[in-house]
Structure 1
Amino acid sequence: MPAASPNVSSALLSQGARPARFSARFWQLAHPLWLCPFRPMFALAMLSGWGLMAAWGAFLFWGWPLPAVAGGPFVWHAHELLLGFTLAAAAGFALTGVPEFTDTPAFAAAPVRWLAGLWLAGRVAFWCSGWWPVAALAASALAHLAFMALLLALLTPRLWRAPERRHLSFAWTLALMMAATAGFYADALRGEPPMRWLHGLLGALMVLIIVAMSRISMSIVNASIDDSEAARRAVESRQQDPEYEATRETRRYLARPPRRNLAMLAIALFTAAQWWEPGARTSAWLALAAACAVLNLMGDWHVGRPLLRPWPLMLYAAYAFMAAGYALTGVGLLTGLPPNAGLHLLTAGALGLSVFVVMCIAGYTHSGLEKNGRPWVLAGAALVAASAVLRACAYALDATALLMGAAALLWCAAFALMSWRMLPVFWRPRADGQGSCDGVLDTPQEAAFASAGSAPQSP
């Protein structure tokens, strides 16, 4: 490729780095918020992440009222965590990841705006269900089911047409989530306790984490291995050693399907048993089996020092919380201890940490920004992890309200920090001049030519 003059490259990079001015309102499709599907969905997730938890903490600490919904405040809390915060994050990831996995164009902004509107309608309608139980619950059910149906309608054709249909598990998992949501509202409208369906939805989300993590980890862990090997080669001056290069290739990380499928099967069996007969000893043993299967899955990650770098370690910690959550649930069911300790390791730990880290990875990468060198991410992940541990300890110690309030405060701090750092990124055009959901450009030269509207030529 012919080298561009320094003055030209600097001018082009300067042009790309300067945020473009825009006059569109945030609800208009011309606004940068709608540049990529993850932007509005991640924005809703991170704002609800601390906003909803702040309301829950105020209820626990000061007795502030929560929306009067079917099933009471604990159902509201679980519903909003799973069908509010997590659903928005999962939709943003799927809408951004599936085009990349299937090598298809990014989704248009118009249906994504519909999804955002349905998500907001679902929140408002559910919160009003204490005043108008039938009408508001029916409206909330329609909003949530329409959200998932539209999401499936967008994703499934691309997943089905992909070679070997390797990513179709996303569609199946979303279909299970939709079935659990329908069951929740069916029970709520009949006046039956609907919490069992939220536990089923949590199981489907654990499966979705494994499905998504297998794709993300292939990039993150192998990038860490590459960085570690590059530093090692620089020290040992072995860049030209063919034998060393051949050895390096054997160190690649692979997310092996047998281990992954075994973990998903064990989680599905536990979820089904707990839905059918909550608290049974069969559920206890299946929970322990799920913990063992997740620990077995984690064995793929043991690649040495590259695992100790921040990004792989944060993703690995999400699996550790998942294994610990199922283990503690199984022990609790066998011994009579409160099962909520294990449940909170799954929700605040595995679910919260994986959502936090994945939003950071996808949010920066697909905004054309380098994700490394951002210490606030590690600090935020530590806050989420500490929140999960405090929630689990709250049920083992005689300070439930105090520890739960402190856990809520740490969780809110993590997602408020994320909102402060990332919302401005989603609110403005890409600094590299690219459109849609393109990843980070590899070199300054590529960024310069991209800003100029042309591509570098091969020699």
Structure 2
Amino acid sequence: MFFPLAAAQGAIGIGLWSFFPFGETGAAWHAHEIVFGYAMAVVAGFLLTRANPQAVAWCLAVWLTARLVWMVPDTPDLVRAASGIASTGTIAFLAGRSFLRGVKRTQNVVFPALLAALVLCEVTAQVGTLQSAPATVRSALLFAVLLIVLLIVVMGGRIAGAALSGLAQRAGRDRIPPQPVLERLLVAATISVGVAVSTSTPALLAATTWVAAAGIVVRLVGWRAGFGLADPALRSMAVSHGLIALGLAGIGAGLFRPPWPEHAPLHLVTIGGIGIATVTMMLKTQAQRARLPLPAATITTAVVLLALASIVRALGFGWPDVSYRIAAIAWIAAMALCLVTLLRRRASGCGRP
């Protein structure tokens, strides 16, 4: 149930933020819910395959509670903070424990470490909210975004790279070798971006974002042998990586005081990079688990909508009243399309994630 709930929450959250704001649904809530609501639900649906049903049900209940307490007026801030920490902590604990049971290589321990870091970001953001420290909240949320990016770049990159290599070899082309050194560089550079954000060091931010962006571009170039053979899901992962690289490069360009606001390129990373990767993961994972054909048309349409939303949101800072609404509508349409597809397949008894 996590995948349909993630898509529903993604659509409803942006709908409230963009068209029906009320109460506590401000900018901090919007950013928090995209990371710790939507993205964490996708992580749960993807990784909680080995947890027992009772644990998954409990995890689902805690996640739903954390989402709903923000909708109830006059809920004490401490209750909201506790529910948010409990939600993120429960998902991270169960997913991390499940993942560790299947770890065969030491380098894969990076995933439970990233999940633990996400819990720390949640705690920091909630403490910052309780102490009315917006700078602390902002830094924690940006670091959390970068951790989600790392999950996509590392885990998604490994899956996509292996699949593209297999396609290339079956077509009689050279194998696409794994790039562990490049992967370690991407991990170090992305974490350093978070440090630069937290310490407000523009020069370090520029250097680390450009290194990370360059590393992603190098990886994409290395995948080129399999692109012509790839299905829509693999191509969408490449688009996701490309938008993340473009967004990181744009963030780094802030050192030179460009005309765009600092949040503009960030939306290439979040709407484009994270949005496309997570929707693709949900639809492809459900299809694989249910042994169904890939919903290629749905994935392609969702990718187009999310890419449009990210570009309009990033470039439309000069006319925000129109561009931000266009971006919101495109995002909501992509999430609604994903939700309908997930529910239709689930209703037929074919999918369970």
Q: Which residue does 1:427 correspond to in 2?
A: 347
Q: Which residue does 2:264 correspond to in 1?
A: 341
Q: Which residue does 1:207 correspond to in 2?
A: 150
Residues 217-254 of structure 1, C-alpha deviations (whole Å, 9 max, x = no match): 14532454367x2xxxxxxxxxxxxxxxxxx3x62223
Q: Which residue does 2:86 correspond to in 1?
A: 142
Q: Which residue does 1:43 correspond to in 2?
A: 4
From the superposition, tell whether residues 116 and 46 of structure 1 become closer, same or farther in structure 2 (CA, over 3 Å): same
CA drift of 1:326 comes to: 0.6
Q: 1:295 and 1:321 mapped to 2: Cα distance?
A: 10
SS in 2 for 1:45: helix
The 5 Å alignment of 1:30-179 reads 40-58=1-19, 64-68=20-24, 73-96=26-49, 106-128=50-72, 131-156=75-100, 158-159=101-102, 162-179=103-120
CA RMSD of aligned residues (A): 2.3
- Give the aligned length: 350
- Among 173, 179, 195, the alignment partner of 1:272 is 195
CA drift of 1:84 comes to: 0.7
Q: 2:91 and 2:73 mapped to 1: Cα distance?
A: 19
TM-score if structure 1 supplies the norm length? 0.71
Q: 1:130 and 1:219 mapped to 2: Cα distance?
A: 50
| Partners of 2:40 and 2:91 within 8 A in 1 | no
Give, as a single letter, the amino acid of the residue that structure 2 aligns with 1:422: L
Q: Which residue does 1:322 correspond to in 2?
A: 244
More helix by share: 2
From the superposition, tell whether residues 385 and 195 of structure 1 become closer, same or farther in structure 2 (CA, over 3 Å): same
CA drift of 1:318 comes to: 0.6
CA drift of 1:131 comes to: 4.1
TM-score if structure 2 supplies the norm length? 0.91
From the superposition, tell whether residues 218 and 330 of structure 1 become closer, same or farther in structure 2 (CA, over 3 Å): closer
Give, as a single letter, the amino acid of the residue that structure 1 aligns with 2:9: S
How high is the sequence identity, in percent, across the aligned residues? 22
The 5 Å alignment of 1:219-238 reads 219-222=162-165, 224-225=167-168, 229=171
Structure 1: segments with no counterpart, 5+ residues: 1-39, 59-63, 97-105, 230-247, 438-459
From the superposition, tell whether residues 297 and 226 of structure 1 become closer, same or farther in structure 2 (CA, over 3 Å): closer
| Partners of 1:281 and 1:334 within 8 A in 2 | no
From the superposition, tell whether residues 425 and 74 of structure 1 become closer, same or farther in structure 2 (CA, over 3 Å): same
Q: Which residue does 2:278 correspond to in 1?
A: 355
From the superposition, tell whether residues 320 and 305 of structure 1 become closer, same or farther in structure 2 (CA, over 3 Å): closer
> For the pair shown, which has the larger CA radius of gyration, 1 or 2?
1
Q: 2:196 and 2:227 mapped to 1: Cα distance?
A: 39
Structure 2: segments with no counterpart, 5+ residues: none
Q: 1:220 and 1:270 mapped to 2: Cα distance?
A: 29
Q: 2:96 and 2:231 mapped to 1: Cα distance?
A: 35
User: Which of structures 1 and 2 has the larger relative contact order (alpha carbons within 8 angstroms, sep 6+)?
Assistant: 1
| Partners of 2:24 and 2:70 within 8 A in 1 | no
